[in-house]
Structure 1
Amino acid sequence: MAEQEDPIKQGKSDVVRAARLSVAPMMDWTDRHCRYMHRLLSSRSLLYTEMVTSPALVRGGALHLLDFHPDEHPVALQLGGSDPAELAAAARLGARAGYDEINLNVGCPSDRVQSGTFGAILMKQPGLVAECVAAMQDAVAVPVTVKCRIGVDDQDAEDVLPEFIARVAATGCDRFIIHARKAWLQGLSPKENRDIPPLDYDLVLRMKGLFPALHLSVNGGITSLEQAQAFLDAGLDGVMVGRAAYHQPWDILAQADARIFGEIAATADPVDIALAMIPYIEAHLVAGGRLHQITRHMMGLFAGRPGGRLWRRVLSEGASKRGAGPALIHQALARMQAAQPA
């Protein structure tokens, strides 16, 4: 009889393969409705939740924040926090909920995150991050990973980043996602922190040379699959795409399985995705949800295509109205089709 593979090892290898291309955790964007649509577009890419704070789960009991659809796999939970014991308890809750990976946020620069002593400010405390990661690893069998910046404020990233990676990797953590920008904790808003600090992709590439055994992904400013493939060809293990995957999901995710993972793309048109969302929408409405909670994530489905603006207008004007339902999707598609040149 052939020896069966350990399901835990199989799950870890699956999530590592999926990390070749991932969608970044984005507050207010990558909720479960967004992720469900992203999974329809790509069966292979790794999806991440919005950041969920460990106090909300452990002290606040907000376990509804862990809800996700089984079809989202492989999917990772991103946690924010700085207390090792609390993060371990939150990681345990995430693993129990079925997440394939638990990720620690060491990159978010918002004031709210700083006041809680987690996010990017933890780049200044690699020893504490190592304690947190070690506690999380002891608590769960699924992979524990770290998403970080190259540094914060006036830190010399050339010195800080390799020291940070080495300290945390000493715990056994072997996967890092590096946002190739510093975070400026004073003087820049979270939005400005996504654009103003210069990108230093070369530094991230040098980290792969310094730590060849680690799985390193790059994040920040990546807007196309061509750019993503170039990083993979240069030796990085993964690429994480943020806003481009949200605003142009068809261009990024619908092509990813073929171009990044070497598989045959199954879906030929974004219309198919819009129609495939209807059963999910119906179930959400039956459960008491509102249409706009889902369609707000579908606005970019036809980005750059004829009728894309009309699609967005029909959804934005109609989805919040009382009684709005799947008929609005059909209406938007019909309006688009009617506007096409003969």
Structure 2
Amino acid sequence: MTEKYKKQDLSRVSCLSVAPMMDWTDRHCRFLHRMLSRETLLYTEMVTAPALVRGGAVHLLDFSPEEHPVALQLGGSDPEELAEAARLGQAAGYDEINLNVGCPSDRVQSGTFGAVLMKQPGLVADCVAAMREAVSVEVTVKCRIGVDDQDPETVLPDFLDRIRGAGVGRVTIHARKAWLQGLSPKENRDIPPLDYGLVLRMKQAFPDLHLSINGGIASLPQAVELLEAGMDGVMVGRAAYHAPTDILAAADRVIYGHDAPVTDPVAVARGMLPYIERHLAQGGKLAQVSRHMLGLFAGRPGARHWRRVLSEGAHRPGAGPELVEAALSDLAQAA
């Protein structure tokens, strides 16, 4: 763990975080987001404990030092296996280890982890207790308000009480139920109604817990409203991916009180060029990085052309930083 991000620092930076999102928040995405905000807490895609412990896929833990503060999200339901995966995460240098108790996908359910674990709070408590015993970095949980026909008013406080008893001090709550039967993972992100009021009441009921709220948060002003309403933190998902500048460029000023100017997305795009060059030199492809940059100018003049140039050209053989330069040049003309 870096000296900079101890428990009290993570509590501070987690005022705003970017949600773990499968196929989206990989190391290239996180590097881009870190260029927009120095402080916002970033999360990996979910990495399954079996993949690390049984499959030996430790390459999934690779990240750049510039990404700090950065948390590893694990999926699993076996306490010993999760403890070993947490050890691997700590050894790799992550600042926090997070347990996924929120993902509703069929693949996750079949592995008995993710949102289905809301039905087994005792097992979740055993898992986080084993993880905390194994590592010195902070262990946290991301959960839903309930699943299927559960009554969130009853289930959620019991769940929080159980994991608090196991030593968890920081929890992110996705303010929707997950329906494990009948809704796809995509539908589970939109169809179950949001219940911000319940999550706010949980903060009142558990004042000693650091609680972040997640789900449907679409703007930085909305994040500020939820913080002012009493939440300790706000986690933003798809909005931070599709319009990263809108969410993150002013975050260091608005959320963390820095005097630094709002980050310029053009400067960020140019700042990605050395990173892209290193990635290509290691055998990578431009599209692996540039796909995360498509929304950098969302809502700004020339944004559609920027997306088209990158999306159409990045997959071509030999595509490199000059494509990004060309897209920036076109963007300047459009502005």
Indicate whether the TM-score tops 0.5: yes
CA contact (8 A) 1:76 1:102 kept: yes
Specify the SS of the correspondent of 1:208: helix
CA separation in 2, counterparts of 1:223 and 1:265? 23
Return the TM-score normalized by structure 1. 0.96
Aligned residue identity for 2:75: G
1:265 alignment counterpart: 260
CA contact (8 A) 1:108 1:119 kept: yes
- The answer to whether residue 311 in structure 2 is matched with residue 313 in structure 1 is no
2:31 alignment counterpart: 36
CA separation in 2, counterparts of 1:117 and 1:9? 35
Q: Deviations over 1:167-216 (max 9, x none)?
A: 11101111100000000000000000000000000000000111000000
2:65 alignment counterpart: 70
CA separation in 2, counterparts of 1:273 and 1:243? 20
Question: Percent identity between the aligned chains?
Answer: 72
1:132 alignment counterpart: 127
2:103 alignment counterpart: 108
Q: Give unmatched runs, 5+ long, in structure 2.
A: none
CA separation in 1, counterparts of 2:289 and 2:158? 42
CA separation in 1, counterparts of 2:188 and 2:87? 31
CA contact (8 A) 1:120 1:148 kept: yes
2:173 alignment counterpart: 178
1:22 alignment counterpart: 17
1:276 alignment counterpart: 271
CA contact (8 A) 2:36 2:263 kept: no
CA separation in 2, counterparts of 1:139 and 1:237? 27
2:117 alignment counterpart: 122
In structure 2, relative to structure 1, the CA distance for the partners of 1:197 and 1:10 (3 Å cut) is closer
Q: Deviations over 1:211-247 (max 9, x none)?
A: 0000000000001111111111111100000000000
CA contact (8 A) 1:255 1:265 kept: no
Specify the SS of the correspondent of 2:295: helix
What RMSD, in angstroms, separates the aligned Cα atoms of the two structures? 1.2
In structure 2, relative to structure 1, the CA distance for the partners of 1:213 and 1:8 (3 Å cut) is farther
CA contact (8 A) 1:24 1:240 kept: yes
CA separation in 1, counterparts of 2:212 and 2:177? 16
Specify the SS of the correspondent of 1:300: coil
Q: Deviations over 1:16-51 (max 9, x none)?
A: 111000000000000000000000000000000000
Q: Give unmatched runs, 5+ long, in structure 1.
A: 1-5
In structure 2, relative to structure 1, the CA distance for the partners of 1:140 and 1:9 (3 Å cut) is farther
Return the TM-score normalized by structure 2. 0.98
Worse overlay, 39-48 or 328-337: 328-337
1:224 alignment counterpart: 219
Worse overlay, 175-184 or 265-274: 265-274
